[in-house]
Amino acid sequence: MNYVRIYEAFIADRRAREADLLASGVYVERHHITPRSMGGEDEVENLIALTPGDHFFAHLCLAK
């Protein structure tokens, strides 16, 4: 499986839905798209709001 491709597609999908997620008022967690341990920074472009389940899935993909 190509986990990089899966992760990139997942993040692109969630980025397209992020405004609706934030407007819904549900609990969200901030995720670094490129982890700080891999050179990512705290820039707005590198952060995305995810549900807790989506956040877990994102880290699962990164761990693979």
**Residues whose CB falls within 8 Å of the CB of residue 38, separated by 6 or more in sequence, listed in order:** none
Mean pLDDT of 4-16: 97
Name 31's Cβ contacts closer than 8 Å, sequence gap at least 6: 47, 48, 49, 50, 55, 58
Beta strands in the chain, from DSSP E residues, in sequence order: 29-32, 47-50
pTM strictly above 0.85: yes
User: What pLDDT score does 17 carry?
Assistant: 97
Quick: pLDDT tens for 25-42: 999 999 999 999 999 999
